Amino acid sequence: MKKKGLILLVIIIGLLVGCSGGKDTTKETFNIEVKDNVKSVNDEIFISTGDHNEINMTLVTSNNKAILIDTGFKEKEALKIKNIIKEKNLKLDKIIISHFDDEQLNNLGMFKQENTDILMPQNIKNEQIVELGDKKLKLLLTNGHNSNGHISVDINNNILVAGDILTNNKKSYTAVTYNEYGFLLESLKYLQKTNYELIIPSHGDIIKDKEFISKKITEIENRLSKYDIKADKFWSEIDDDIIVSSGNEYTVKKATMVLAISGKEVTMIDTGITENMGKEMKKFIEENGLKLKNLIITHDHYDHTNNLDMFNKEGVNLYTYDNSNDGDVIKCKDKEFKIIFTPGHAKNRHLSVLIDEKIFVAGDILASNIDPVRLVDTDEAGKTVINTLEKLNEKQYDIVIPGHGDVCLGNSVFNKNIEILKREFK
């Protein structure tokens, strides 16, 4: 039985090799082997994959020299690379850190020696060349994943170590906020100019699909074109009928308040942190001849209720956790606001609002600019909020407005928050 299977496998491989060999003889062929969660490409590039969302770290070698790209999340994946360096007696004189996150930095101490050169977004130039024997590594500054810089590495114009601007794992994320998606699109269009044979993402399996980048570009363009969004630092407008204002950076970072316009009537969600935010929104309502009809409060924390008295006047319907039920629907002309109880913050007395089944106003169970761990006060609450987010993440949203930070596109802010919270609370 075993022998038969082996013969069949040999025939299949033979056919595959025969086919691809006949098609294109100019391209380099890659021999990829997998052993104990380490993939090797032509026995020269080694990718060790950890169990945390299939995080990858990559060792590029040439003869007896090596360059490491990222250092892994857990010790386990890094030790495997350490062993390869030892077994092959390699000299590691450079480490490239694609960007600053625990997943890339955790094991830096294991590899860094006194004379090791550390290359990071802050100390390289775009398209800087790093020579490694027969290999030329081109460092590319690729924005779109975070705000403090990101490097992708081009190896000999045919392999791309992409970092976190491309992913092949469903639980990880690339861009989160609307503005990051804009940068990501630019980066991908830039990378598309080179025909990469292999892409090593920072999460998940090696990508051999040559259309992968083009497909991502189309996907992002479709998402971006669905709404007309103007996203400024503290004031965003979505299709001219959803307004998001956020406070300054210094107090409680960028607490959001939302105004949804239905004809001449408006529904407000939270009232902002600074008096200025409140005044600015009040002015907007007056100048546009609008009338505040409904006021929904996600939770009773001052950074979301500070201007309550400015707006909670006669004739305004006030909805809070105390007088609402999970699943309640508030109608305002053409718009529907569904109240969803979202435990995990403010001693579980917290609600979120889903507008027309597409735009999710989260309140403080999500943040796009601060560590979400800061929004959780106990281990118990941490686990509760993870559970809340995982449930919500089963549904697809076009836009997510977090309690703190910039407007987000799609669900990736859920992935980001869940991932960060799980590092702390599991």
Quote the CA–CA distance of 235 and 242 in Å, as a whole number: 11
Q: Which stretch binds Zn ion (CB under 5 A): 11-19, 53-61, 192-200, 255-263?
A: 255-263
CB hemisphere CA count around 386 (13 angstroms): 16
Our CB check for Zn ion shows the closer of 103 and 364 to be 364
Nearest approach in angstroms of CB 318 to Zn ion is 18
Q: Which is nearer to Zn ion, 297 or 409 (CB)?
A: 297
Smallest separation (angstroms) from Zn ion to the CB of 287: 27
The CA-atom distances, in angstroms, between 328 and each of 65, 242, 323 are: 63, 21, 10
With contacts defined by CB under 5 A, name the span among 12-20, 185-193, 257-265, 303-311 that binds Zn ion: 303-311
Angstrom CA distances, 372 to 206, 233, 353, 377, stand at 30, 20, 19, 11
Instruction: Tell me the two tokens of residue 375.
Output: 């929004």
Closer to Zn ion by Cβ: residue 78 or 351: 351
CB nearer to Zn ion: give 52 or 301. 301
CB within 8 Å of 63: residues ≥ 6 apart: 133
The distance of closest approach from Cβ of residue 45 to Zn ion in the complex, given in angstroms and rounded to an integer, is 45
* CB of 363 vs Zn ion, minimal distance in Å: 7
The CB-based long-range contact list for 301-304 (8 Å cut-off, 24+ gap) reads 301/346, 301/364, 302/273, 303/247, 303/251, 303/252, 303/255, 303/273, 304/255, 304/257, 304/270, 304/271, 304/272, 304/273, 304/363, 304/364, 304/403
Q: How far is the CB of 236 from Zn ion (least distance, A)?
A: 17
Which region, judged by CB under 5 A, interacts with Zn ion, from 102-110, 150-158, 360-368, 417-425? 360-368
For Zn ion, which stretch binds (CB under 5 A), given 74-82, 118-126, 299-307, 378-386? Answer: 299-307
Of residues 393-422, those binding Zn ion (CB under 5 A): 403
Instruction: Return the number of the residue (80 or 350) whose C-beta is nearest Zn ion.
Output: 350
Dig out the tokens for 117 from the structure: 């050169």
Which of 255, 354 has the CB closer to Zn ion?
A: 255
Tell me the closest approach of the beta carbon of residue 346 to Zn ion, in angstroms: 6
CB of 299 to Zn ion, least distance (A): 6
Sites for Zn ion among residues 91-150 (CB under 5 A): none
As measured in angstroms, the least distance from the Cβ of 302 to Zn ion is 9
Within 8 A by CB and 6+ apart from 6, the residues are none
Cβ proximity to Zn ion: between 376 and 409 the closer is 376
Give the whole-angstrom CA distance, residue 415 versus residue 389: 9
258 SS3 class: strand
Q: Is 51 exposed, middle or buried (0-12, 13-18, 19+ CB in 10 A)?
A: exposed
270 lines the binding site for Zn ion (CB under 5 A): no
**Cα(357)–Cα(396) distance, integer angstroms:** 9
Nearer to Zn ion by C-beta: 255 or 355? 255
Q: Under the criterion CB under 5 A, does residue 303 sit at the interface with Zn ion?
A: yes
Bridge partners, 359 (sequence order) = 355, 399
Please report whether residue 364 would count as binding Zn ion according to CB under 5 A. yes
Angstrom distance (rounded) from CA 319 to CA 298: 9
Cα separation, 379 vs 250, in Å, equals 27
Minimum CB distance to Zn ion, residue 109 (Å):
35
Rounded to whole angstroms, the Cα distance separating 395 from 285 reads 32
Comparing CB distances to Zn ion, the nearer of 204 and 403 is: 403
> What is the distance between the alpha carbons of residues 237 and 245, in angstroms, rounded to a whole number?
9
Q: Which is nearer to Zn ion, 364 or 406 (CB)?
A: 364
Q: Which of 301, 366, 410, 419 binds Zn ion (CB under 5 A)?
A: 301
Task: Report the alpha-carbon distance of residue 284 to residue 242 in Å, rounded.
Answer: 12
Residue count, binding to Zn ion (CB under 5 A): 5
Minimum CB–partner distance for residue 388 and Zn ion (Å): 14
Residues that bind Zn ion (CB under 5 A): 255, 301, 303, 364, 403
